[in-house]
Structure 1
């Protein structure tokens, strides 16, 4: 198995999804098996490779050096830690699950969506832009709760209209977050069936348009 095949193996992705959701939390093999819903034998075998490659580090609990249960956690000293984390966030650990949820549940209302970033506690911040139709609030809340459970992260969701999105100014906190290099666009214009709202033309613009038409 090549390095690329190993990194994108389903077992590796499921374990890293759990580990990156709590990068500073030591996890036992049994806890990883429970959260990832993998067979304990598959977890043990995959952990051996992840620890051996340096992606994860293994240690005993600091509070009790004699404790026999070993734990693992993300190894921030791994030479490719930042790159691997970015790959994970742009794919199986964040972007892909968010994209799949929005396309499945809200394809008629969501026109754009972004992963704005990850907070210190692992919370995923999302921005959803709706078009002509506004997503049902109850349905969105339920979908986010289910997604949060599946990817083992809390979600902070901002849902705004396309008009509000187009009107964002540099002083708006959302605008500054959108300008960050780490932002990931998970739904782009045209990716869903959602329709943009018809722009309302003011009386002055309407009069000018009619005058221009008559003068031709």
Structure 2
């Protein structure tokens, strides 16, 4: 199996989503199966592949406790693989899915800015004409945090501020970093863009002209 086959295998992605969410935690195969929603036999085969590849390692069973599996931090490409996981299936995909389904009428762009040492994923959400409901966004992020095993720190700004962002804006340098991953692009959702001031003025003039027009 090639590296590409390994990365894009749905079973591997599901297990790595669980393992990288808690890289220091040891999981029995049964728990990995439950969290990844895979059959135990399928989970066992995938774990075997991860161990042979050096991505994960086994911890021998102790007393009445089952054998466990966890991420092997000594794997030569551990940091790179974890970064890929964060930017794709382990973090980006669940966040993208949540934004596109629950906030498709308000979110026009979104970026995963990165992850700190404590495992907090920072997210920038750019809204259009409608502002995402604050309570609904907080609830959705809390629910997703539990599922992902990561905390979410969310910045919500209007599209106007995003487009006019100056180099001195605290978010400006963050967005231009090589590690940033755009998960919602313009056109990915049905969110209406804000109407520009000039557009509002033009619409008002057109309406006044129509009202001032003599009736037949």
| TM-score interval, smaller chain | 0.7 to 0.9
Residue 146 of structure 2 is matched in structure 1 by 149
Q: What is the Cα deviation at residue 194 of structure 1?
A: 1.5
Q: Distance in 2 between matches of 1:25 and 1:164?
A: 40
- Note the C-alpha offset of 1:105: 1.4
**Partner of residue 104, structure 2:** 107
Q: Residues 53-94 of structure 1, C-alpha deviation per residue, up to 9 Å, x if partnerless? A: 101122359xxx878643322223323323322332232112
Q: Which runs of 5+ in 2 are unaligned?
A: 203-216
Q: Partner of 1:121: helix, strand, or coil?
A: coil
Q: What secondary structure, in the 3-state scheme, does the structure 2 residue paired with 1:158 have? A: strand
Moved more, 70-79 or 150-159: 70-79
Report the equivalent of 1:80. Answer: 77
Q: Which residue of 1 aligns with 2:117?
A: 120
Q: 2-side partners of 1:39 and 1:120: how far apart?
A: 32
> What is aligned with 1:212?
none
TM-superposed deviation, 1:184: 0.3
Segment drifting more, 8-17 vs 191-200: 191-200
Please name the residue that 1:211 is paired with.
none
1:190 pairs with 168, 187, 192, which one? 187
Answer yes or no: is the 8 Å Cα contact 1:88–1:94 preserved in 2: yes
Is contact 1:30–1:40 with CA below 8 Å preserved after alignment? yes
Report the counterpart of residue 163 of structure 1 in structure 2.
160
Deviation at 1:115, TM superposition (A): 0.3
Aligned to 2:29: 29
Separation (CA, whole Å) in 2 of partners of 1:163 and 1:19: 39
Contact 1:108 1:133 (C-alpha < 8 Å) held by counterparts: yes
Superposed, 1:18-57 pairs within 5 Å as 18-57=18-57
Say if 1:68 and 1:143 are closer, same or farther in 2 by CA, change over 3 A: closer
TM-score, L = length of structure 2: 0.80
Give 5+ residue unaligned stretches, structure 1.
207-216
Is the alpha carbon distance of 1:182 and 1:2 closer, same or farther for their aligned partners in structure 2, counting shifts above 3 Å? closer
Matches of 2:47 and 2:189, distance apart in 1: 38
TM-superposed CA distance for 1:119, in Å, is 1.8
Distance in 2 separating the partners of 1:71 and 1:169: 50
Report the RMSD for the aligned CA atoms in angstroms. 2.5
Structure 1 length-normalised TM: 0.80
Residues 121 and 67 of structure 1, relative CA distance in 2, 3 Å threshold:
farther
**Contact map agreement 1:128 1:160 (CA 8 A) in 2:** yes
